[in-house]
Structure 1
Amino acid sequence: MAAAVGGEAPAAGPAAGGALWAEVWALLPGSEEELTLALSGEVDGCVRPLLRRARGLLYGAEGRPGGEAAAAALRRLGDVLRDYSWEKLNAGPWREVSKAWRQVYAYGCLFGALAEVAAGRPLAPAVRLCDMGLLMGASVLDNVLARLVRVLQQHLPREQRRGAAGLAAESARTEPRPAPAVRPEDAVPRLRCPSLEHFRDNYLIPQKPVVLEGIMDHWPCMRKWRRVWDTLPSTSSLIRICLLGQKVGGHFLQVPSSSATSLLPLLDKQIPELKEDISIPDYCCLGEGEEEHITINAWFGPEGTISPLHQDPQQNFLAQVFGRKYIRLYSPQDSENLYPHESQILHNTSQVDVEDPDLVKFPNFRKAEFQSCVLMPGQVLFIPVKYWHYVRSLDVSFSVSFWWS
């Protein structure tokens, strides 16, 4: 594709400087009008203006000065587009997700990655955004994310580079890091196989979180996946198997070992083919809807994956298959102290970094009381509807969530 007329960089570009930004800019259409933002279907009305605003920032249509201000604004818009489309991507079975929403997610990844480069920041986060867009999104601008990640990979420090045709050899798994300390007075209570009546009367009706033990011991995944996990030479091997299993449409345990993929990191992935290896918890029968109205998602991600503090509109059982997750929970009664975003798009997400809060900007956050737990394999956490929760993976992690009313 042609570079900008006269070789000029866009409004966000000067902060990056040098040959890298020139290479990146050459991948994009030469003018704002040529970047059409075409979508293959309908999306919510607020999305297209956000896309156009991001495009305007990229090409300087809003008259913003180059450098950090424009890059920061573009980065925020990329975050909003990804967060909003992420909910659409995970609202039901993957095969039913609209291509248009996958394209919106890809644009969000593209704008975010370009903002990282334009600001002159380390390239690993930009590469990660490209990989996520390739994994979860749909092709836009003649598959620009694939071309962009190839350019960025060449500029990564040598120890961070990965082959474009597949993953390089990985080091063996190391011992897991220590879990964060959970004070006894803050710990979510644990209960082993309570009766339906006990769960209903003591946790569902009063809307109190609880960790349930023993209720998923019979799931086939607890032996099948564990057996495969124990035989893998590295954690990235499981990432590769999961990705390829989804791409070829088969079970993730039935993929030829000689296969390879260029899709590197991932956060969370919905894999509906795994449903045969899990069971809907019996406690869901206490809800108002039918079984077919229960939303089931499988979530896979590397160590360090974070879900910011947010709330969901349904009851949630979060079942941990392998790996550990550190989870903080806040009552809906503390919502005002959690500083939700003011925009309609992110109103269910807090602005606060839970583990490193800015108490000058968010002083009332210190007033919010929380419970916490380290969710271990074989445990299920009940998260009541509208309960705020923050999640950080302590290991490579696989979880299954059940949203029910």
Structure 2
Amino acid sequence: MILSEIDVVEDIDKDVFLKKYFKPQKPVLIKGLAKKWEAYSKWSLDYIAAQAGEQVVGLYDNKPADPNKPTDEPVTYMKMREYIKLIKEKPSDLRIFFYIITDKLPELLKNFSYPELGFKYFKRIPTLFFGGSEARVLMHYDVDLGDLLHFQFEGKKRVLLFPPDQASFLYKVPLSVHTVYNIDYERPDFERFPALRFATGYEVHMEHGDALFMPSGYWHFNRYLEAGFSITLRSFPGSPRRLMKMLNEVFVVRYTDKLMRRVLKHRWVTFKQKLAFRKSQRALNRYLSTIKQSDAG
């Protein structure tokens, strides 16, 4: 993988953000942006445990989804207080996925403000994500294709970002928003996944209070280095074309995949994995051929 350093700023003006990052769809890390919130001190695991400790939450781990079950089915359930106690006390790969604040912890909405960066937020679903120090999230892009502002709290996190046009080098699974299950992005095997060597993206390290702007359709792999949590604020699709693509992703591609998975189970998963390899190999062959012709010229 060819990883570049991401732009890092301490503060940013709305006009500068729109011109340098939002309009050209380029990611940027804004250090300590959450520190501007009046209730910044409340963004802690302890505060959430106190406010929502009795809630029962679904938990996910690092294992690939069981092809005989829905992809969004949790591996286990636990009270929020018990989960937070667990990840604070010992290493764990358990994580909470897509915890919608407006439904489950509306009190937390009083503790932040939407940064004035010039784009419209979808205020219905500010979403929390939690992870233990061994948790990682499979390389994927968000199906709603919104522009994302992702804040990290408590523990540190490593994020790998890749533009949408790198999908072929990442072994994208057809009719899915993720790559093949068995790529280890922390120790990539370029012999097994040769196209991955040429994927061009960014490596980001986040700390408490940092905000990462991820443009629409960007691939991202998240690795919790310490127990922590995050909030993602998302925008509406910024153009009619993107809106139509989002509707197709959500209501056609996603449900076609769910139907085929329900009918064919493991055979469907295996077929898609093989197809992902074939497509990435063809992309690699085209790329190497272009390089060879360029060198010959």
Give the structure-2-normalised TM-score. Answer: 0.58
1:340, CA displacement in angstroms? 0.7
The 3 A distance-change label for structure 1 pair 279 and 395 is same
Matched, 1:277 2:106: no
* 2:129 alignment partner in structure 1: 299
The 3 A distance-change label for structure 1 pair 382 and 308 is same
* 1:308 alignment partner in structure 2: 138
* 1:286 alignment partner in structure 2: 119
* 2:34 alignment partner in structure 1: 216
Letter in 2 for 1:389: H
Distance 1:398 1:262 in 2: 12
SS at match of 2:96: coil
* 2:53 alignment partner in structure 1: 244
The 3 A distance-change label for structure 1 pair 225 and 214 is closer
Q: What are the Cα deviations for residues 89-109 of structure 1, in whole angstroms up to 9, with x where unaligned?
A: xxxxxxxxxxxxxxxxxxxxx
1:348, CA displacement in angstroms? 1.3
Q: Percent identity?
A: 26
* 1:390 alignment partner in structure 2: 221
Q: What are the Cα deviations for residues 40-60 of structure 1, in whole angstroms up to 9, with x where unaligned?
A: xxxxxxxxxxxxxxxxxxxxx
* 1:64 alignment partner in structure 2: none
Unpaired runs of at least 5, structure 1: 1-182, 230-237, 249-258
Distance 1:261 1:223 in 2: 22
Larger Rg: 1
1:396, CA displacement in angstroms? 0.8
Distance 1:201 1:262 in 2: 42
* 1:268 alignment partner in structure 2: 96
Equivalent residue in structure 1 for 2:178, among 339, 349, 365: 349
Matched, 1:364 2:173: no
Counterpart contact for 1:338–1:364, Cα < 8 Å: yes
Distance 2:38 2:21 in 1: 27
Letter in 1 for 2:199: A
Distance 2:112 2:81 in 1: 27
Counterpart contact for 1:308–1:353, Cα < 8 Å: no
Aligned residues: 196
1:219, CA displacement in angstroms? 2.0
Distance 1:293 1:271 in 2: 11
Distance 1:276 1:239 in 2: 13
Greater alpha carbon shift after TM alignment, 216-225 vs 331-340: 216-225
Relative contact order: is structure 1 or structure 2 higher (C-alpha 8 Å, sep ≥ 6)? 2
Q: What are the Cα deviations for residues 44-88 of structure 1, in whole angstroms up to 9, with x where unaligned?
A: xxxxxxxxxxxxxxxxxxxxxxxxxxxxxxxxxxxxxxxxxxxxx
Bigger strand fraction: 2
* 2:70 alignment partner in structure 1: none
Superposed CA RMSD:
3.0
Counterpart contact for 1:340–1:348, Cα < 8 Å: yes
The 3 A distance-change label for structure 1 pair 210 and 292 is closer
After TM superposition, the structure 1 = structure 2 runs for residues 74-89 of structure 1, keeping only pairs within 5 Å, are none
SS at match of 1:370: strand
The 3 A distance-change label for structure 1 pair 211 and 371 is same
Letter in 1 for 2:211: V
* 1:318 alignment partner in structure 2: 150
After TM superposition, the structure 1 = structure 2 runs for residues 1-400 of structure 1, keeping only pairs within 5 Å, are 186-226=4-44, 229=46, 241=50, 244-247=53-56, 261=82, 266-269=94-97, 270=99, 272=101, 273=105, 274-283=108-117, 285-287=118-120, 291-293=121-123, 295-312=125-142, 313-342=145-174, 344=175, 347-351=176-180, 352-400=183-231
Distance 1:318 1:369 in 2: 21
Letter in 2 for 1:199: F
Give the structure-1-normalised TM-score. Answer: 0.44
1:316, CA displacement in angstroms? 0.5
1:398, CA displacement in angstroms? 1.6
Distance 1:389 1:242 in 2: 30
The 3 A distance-change label for structure 1 pair 271 and 348 is closer
1:214, CA displacement in angstroms? 4.1
Counterpart contact for 2:10–2:32, Cα < 8 Å: yes
SS at match of 2:233: strand
Counterpart contact for 2:29–2:213, Cα < 8 Å: yes
The 3 A distance-change label for structure 1 pair 262 and 402 is closer
Letter in 2 for 1:364: A
Distance 1:207 1:365 in 2: 23
1:221, CA displacement in angstroms? 4.5
Distance 1:369 1:292 in 2: 30
Counterpart contact for 1:295–1:404, Cα < 8 Å: no
Counterpart contact for 1:320–1:377, Cα < 8 Å: yes
SS at match of 2:231: strand
SS at match of 2:220: strand
